């Protein structure tokens, strides 16, 4: 049984232990915190294999982690140079700080670590990597799989990021309330990209892909549980994630093939997640600040209504127009042309789509292939063959090939 329990506990408890110890030791000693957490699970594997599971495995892990942390503090320069000066007044020479693994301190430490990791002094990809490692408990190999690169690259990326945080002396703390909104922006961007890394993943590891999305949602919920960051933009982001995640089960067929939106079985959509998304979108509709997450969540909401109606596509097109005005992106512009086709017809949409000239995107040519279908089937085929040539995953190639075969 421990063969199943230890990986589960590693995913849920490694991040908690690491965050608390990082808060105690400081950002410059992230590696020490990770080592202690790793050694704790190694001890569990060795002990539980021969002695059986303890009555409370989580409490056992916390006790071992505390003892290992105290040993480190007592014997090395970290205690002498960092901890001791903070507690000398009124304490004995044998004082060791309390290592607080209470639920409240764990939650606070993880949120404070999230703000530290998402500091603008390190690149976005490094922020995501550190979030996966420290706050989500992902192993280096899992992170490498998510980013479609090797372990050496990830190790170097995380090492450079930790060094940068250390040299910049980034504090693990909550930002002052006056700075929350400003400091929150890179945090939300990291969670948004983390979710997208899972939702649009090119990895064939389906379990890992869903895990990335669920971890992004967990961290977003943590922000909402902390009153100063329970803000409209955070609610809007979690609403967006809920709406997209509600279609997880419907996006893949029995043979692993991608099922496009209009072919999905609506009965497989998760109605509880849709309702949760609607709740957060409603909570986001207060105040005067309007973010991209509000608009994208609104678009995703209308996609939870499967029936094609004029109202649906007119609203989606309207939201895309606002999104592009607020924050232009080629992907949003491309997606807008599909809504435009639904509202004003394929010929008008083709004219706008071709102006984008996204010649390196398989999705650009796939969309043109669809828009030309029935108007000029030869051009439709030419675009689909170009999309097939550019497609990066086997799942995408299968979808495109089906469209070609139908023509």
For 258, phi then psi, to 5°, come to -75, 135
Q: What is the mean pLDDT of the chain?
A: 90
Owner of token pair 């090797």: 150
| pLDDT score, position 158 | 95
pLDDT digits (tens, 9 = 90+) for 115-141: 999 998 999 999 999 999 999 988 898
In this predicted model, what pLDDT tens digit does every residue of 66-104 receive, in sequence order?
999 988 887 776 555 655 555 444 444 455 567 899 999
pTM of the model: 0.88
Residue 359 in this model has a pLDDT that exceeds 60: yes
* pLDDT tens-place string over residues 135-184: 998 889 889 988 888 999 999 999 999 999 999 999 999 988 888 888 89
Cross-strand pairs, 258:
252
- CA dist 173 and 253 (Å) reads 45
The whole-angstrom distance between residue 214's C-alpha and the CA centroid of its chain comes to 8
Alpha-carbon distances, residue 321 vs 93, 192, 241, 262, 315 (angstroms): 66, 21, 21, 22, 10
pLDDT tens per residue, range 265-311: 999 999 999 999 999 999 999 988 889 999 999 999 999 999 999 99
Residue in the structure block whose two tokens are 């699970």 = 41
Helices (H), ranges, 26-123: 30-51, 57-75, 77-78, 84-87, 103-117
Mean of pLDDT values over 317-333: 96
Q: What are phi and psi of 393, to 5 degrees?
A: -120, 155
Structural domains of the chain, with CATH: 1-101 (no CATH), 307-407 (1.25.40.10)
Taking residues 203-209, report their average pLDDT. 67
Residues contacting residue 144 through CB under 8 Å, at least 6 positions apart: 150, 151, 153, 154
Beta pairing partners, 252: 258
On the question of pLDDT at 207 being above 50, the answer is yes
């Amino acid at each position: 049984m421990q063969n199943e329990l230890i990986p589960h506990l590693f995913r849920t408890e490694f991040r908690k232990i690491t965050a608390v110890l990082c808060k105690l030791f400081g950002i410059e000693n992230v590696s020490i915190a990770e080592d202690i957490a790793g050694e704790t699970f190694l001890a569990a594997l060795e002990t539980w294999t021969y002695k059986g599971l303890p009555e409370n495995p989580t409490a056992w892990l916390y006790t071992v982690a505390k003892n290992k942390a105290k040993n480190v503090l007592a014997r090395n320069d970290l205690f002498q140079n960092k901890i001791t000066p903070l507690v000398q007044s009124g304490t004995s020479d044998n004082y060791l700080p309390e290592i607080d693994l209470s639920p409240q301190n764990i939650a606070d430490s993880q949120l404070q670590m999230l703000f530290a990791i998402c500091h603008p002094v390190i690149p976005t990809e490094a922020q995501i990597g550190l979030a996966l490692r420290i706050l989500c408990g992902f192993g280096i190999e899992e992170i490498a799989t998510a980013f479609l690169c090797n372990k050496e690259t990830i190790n170097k990326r995380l090492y450079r990021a930790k060094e940068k945080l250390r040299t910049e002396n980034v504090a693990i703390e909550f930002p002052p309330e006056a700075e929350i909104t400003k400091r929150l922006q890179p945090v939300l961007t990291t969670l948004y990209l983390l979710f997208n890394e899972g939702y649009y993943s090119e990895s064939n590891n389906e379990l890992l892909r869903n895990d990335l999305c669920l971890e992004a949602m967990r961290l977003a919920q943590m922000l909402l549980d902390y009153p100063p960051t329970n803000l409209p933009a955070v609610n809007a982001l979690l609403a967006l994630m809920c709406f997209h995640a509600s279609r997880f089960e419907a996006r893949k067929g029995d043979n692993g093939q991608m099922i496009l939106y209009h072919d999905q079985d609506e009965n497989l959509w998760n109605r509880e997640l849709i309702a949760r998304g609607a709740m957060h979108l409603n909570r986001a509709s207060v105040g005067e600040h309007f973010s991209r997450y509000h608009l994208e969540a609104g678009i995703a909401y209308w996609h939870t209504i499967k029936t094609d109606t004029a109202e649906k596509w007119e609203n989606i097109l309207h939201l895309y127009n606002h999104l592009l005005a607020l924050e232009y992106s080629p992907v949003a512009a491309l997606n807008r042309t599909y809504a435009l086709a639904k509202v004003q017809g394929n010929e008008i949409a083709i004219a706008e789509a071709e102006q984008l000239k996204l010649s390196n995107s398989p999705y650009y040519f796939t969309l043109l292939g669809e828009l030309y279908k029935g108007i000029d089937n030869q051009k439709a085929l030419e675009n689909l063959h170009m999309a097939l040539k550019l497609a990066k995953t086997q799942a995408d190639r299968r979808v495109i090939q089906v469209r070609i075969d139908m023509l």
